[in-house]
């Protein structure tokens, strides 16, 4: 039991550290290009466990709480990148130019955006690797088989039907179909179908089934009850693999946004929402399975971290971008008090979300209904 716990914690640290490092390195890299002096680059928060200084004076360190990370830039008063105005006022003009807060608005926005963009790049890189090594599935979105007593059978779908669109999304491959119906738990979905020379629209409601997520956990997913022909994989060039990886990353992010929207309006429960404990469990299960599964988990988490960080919540990168957009539109920065209240509100939102997900994880861990 102790060994299992250590394995889970170690896996969680490795998986999260990779994602956080890439995110923070995005900020770091663009900040350095813009001439910002970096004081610290940390994986984790709190007390430093191990660290070293590079030639430029940046302190690279691993800290006690592995729940994120930060890049502390010259002129920051804290890890949240708030300006130390008193210290900056006392600086020479040369030193001020080394601070993040004296950079132009486009440079600030580029530095802030670089973290989430780095996460998307990581996801795209991993998916590109998968596609290059396994090939692209060449299965057209054509129904090969109808499962008995399924929504597809009840709606009148037939073998040979080509599904060209699901709701507002075009369908390029049969593999797109599970992604595009994944948010339709108990809600109707519209299929645009070509049957011979005939174009038709079929509306059906997927059946909710309990399935395995590939790591041994039970999840609910929608099923319409169709199968494809035999899947064949074709080799592809780097450009084709990159295009497909970008397309899949876009679908992942779009699906995540739909799921979050459904949770907010109450159309979907929050039982699938995972916090640190849930992610740690997934990490342990993935590393126990194989490298491919671990990389897949990193790709999914990285895409979601990049997306969530773009939400317009103060303290997140999206919150900073919201402030800078307001500054660009008004021609002057938001009042310091407004920014401070915003950061307090952002902290309250993130703290409440963290507490909720941890409670949710614990309830599932002990199977409390």
Q: Looking at the structure, do residues 260 and 322 belong to the same domain, yes or no?
A: yes
Element spanning 187, H or E: none
Please tell me whether residues 274 and 362 are part of one structural domain: yes
Q: Catalytic pick from 24, 79, 234, 340?
A: 24
173 and 220, same domain (yes or no): yes
Judged against a pLDDT cut of 70, whether residue 216 lies above it is answered with no
Residues 358 and 268 in one domain: yes
My answer on whether 227 and 240 are in the same domain is no
Say if CB 74 and CB 40 are below 8 A apart.
no
Q: Is residue 37 situated within a structural domain?
A: no
Say whether both 323 and 267 belong to one domain: yes
Q: Considering the chain, what percentage of its residues have pLDDT values greater than 70?
A: 94
How many domains are there within the chain?
2
Looking at the structure, tell me whether residues 251 and 334 fall in a common domain.
yes
**Do 303 and 356 fall into the same domain?**
yes
Clarify whether residues 253 and 351 are in a common domain: yes
Token pair recorded at residue 290: 């194989």
How far, in Å, CA of 191 to CA of 151, rounded? 12
Question: What's the pLDDT tens digit per position in 231-280?
Answer: 777 778 899 899 989 999 998 998 888 888 878 877 776 666 778 888 88
In this structure, is residue 68 part of a structural domain?
Answer: no
- Both 268 and 191 in one domain: the answer is no
Residue 109 — very low, low, confident or very high, per pLDDT cuts 50/70/90?
very high
Is 36 part of a structural domain of the chain? no
Spatial separation of the C-alpha atoms in residues 220 and 324, rounded to whole Å: 40
Rounded CA separation 261/132 (Å): 34
**In which domain, by residue range, is 276 found?**
109-136+236-369
This prediction has a pTM of 0.81
Q: When comparing pLDDT for 232 and 61, which is higher?
A: 61
Note whether residue 80 is domain-resident.
Answer: no
Domain assignment present for 214 = yes
Residue 170, domain CATH: 2.30.42.10
The whole-number average pLDDT for the span 132-161 is 86
Contacts of 88 (CB under 8 A, 6+ apart): 75, 96, 99, 101, 102
Higher pLDDT, 111 or 281: 111
366, two tokens: 């002990």
Out of 194, 211, 231, pick the residue that ends a domain.
231
Q: Is the residue at 9 inside a domain? A: no
DSSP result, 258-318: HHHHHHHHTSS-STT---HHHHHHHHHHHHHH-HHHHHHHHHHHHHHHHHHHTSS-TTSHH
Neighbours of 169 (CB within 10 A): 14
Q: Of the candidates 184, 207, 197, 343, which has an alpha carbon nearest to the alpha carbon of residue 255? A: 184
Asked whether residue 215 carries a pLDDT value surpassing 70, the answer given is no
Confidence class for position 363, pLDDT limits 50, 70, 90: confident
Q: Which residues of 257-286 are buried (b: 16+ CB within 10 A; e: fewer)?
A: ebbbebeeeeebeeeebbbbbbbbbbbbbb
- Do residue 191 and residue 266 come from a single domain? no
Strand residues in the chain grouped as ranges (E): 38-53, 59-73, 136-137, 145-146, 162-166, 169-170, 189-195, 198-204, 207-212, 218-223, 226-227, 233-234
24 is catalytic: yes
C-beta neighbour count of 65 within 10 angstroms: 10
Last residue of a domain, one of 207, 231, 255: 231
In a domain, 290, yes or no: yes
In a domain, 131, yes or no: yes
Model confidence band, residue 308 (pLDDT cutoffs 50, 70, 90):
very high
Residue ending a domain, among 231, 265, 287, is 231
One domain for residues 158 and 132: no
């Amino acid at each position: 039991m102790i060994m299992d716990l250590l394995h889970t914690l170690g896996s969680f640290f490795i998986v999260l550290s990779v994602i956080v490092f890439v995110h923070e390195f995005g900020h770091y890299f663009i900040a350095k290009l813009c001439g910002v002096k970096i004081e610290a680059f940390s994986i984790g928060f709190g007390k430093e466990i191990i660290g070293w200084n590079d030639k430029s004076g940046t302190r690279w360190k691993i800290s006690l709480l592995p729940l994120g990370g930060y890049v502390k830039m010259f002129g920051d008063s804290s890890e949240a990148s708030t300006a130390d105005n008193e210290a900056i006022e006392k600086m020479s003009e040369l030193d001020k130019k080394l601070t993040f807060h004296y950079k132009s608005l486009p440079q600030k926005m580029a530095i802030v955006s670089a973290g989430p963009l780095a996460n998307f790049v990581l996801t795209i890189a991993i998916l590109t690797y998968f596609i290059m090594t396994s090939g692209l599935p060449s299965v057209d979105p054509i129904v090969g088989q109808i499962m008995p007593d399924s929504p597809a059978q009840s709606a009148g779908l037939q073998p040979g039907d080509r599904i060209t669109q699901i709701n507002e999304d075009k369908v390029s491959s049969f593999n797109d179909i599970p992604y595009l119906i994944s948010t339709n738990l108990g809600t109707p979905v519209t299929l645009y179908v070509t049957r011979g020379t005939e174009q038709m629209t079929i509306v059906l409601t997927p059946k909710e089934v309990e399935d395995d997520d590939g790591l041994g956990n039970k999840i609910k997913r929608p099923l319409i009850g169709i199968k494809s022909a035999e899947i064949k994989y074709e080799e592809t060039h780097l450009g084709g693999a990159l295009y497909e990886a970008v397309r899949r990353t876009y679908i992942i992010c779009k699906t995540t946004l739909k799921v979050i929207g459904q949770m907010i309006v109450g159309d979907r429960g929050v039982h699938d929402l995972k916090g640190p404990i849930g992610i740690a469990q997934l990490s342990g299960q993935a590393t126990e399975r194989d490298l491919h599964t671990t990389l897949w988990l990193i790709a999914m988490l990285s895409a979601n971290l990049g997306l969530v960080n773009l939400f317009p919540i103060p303290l997140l990168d999206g919150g900073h971008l919201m402030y800078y957009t307001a500054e660009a539109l008004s021609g002057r920065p938001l009042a310091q008090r407004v920014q401070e209240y915003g950061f307090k509100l952002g902290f309250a939102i993130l703290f409440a979300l963290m507490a909720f997900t941890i409670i949710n994880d614990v309830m599932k861990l002990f199977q409390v209904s």
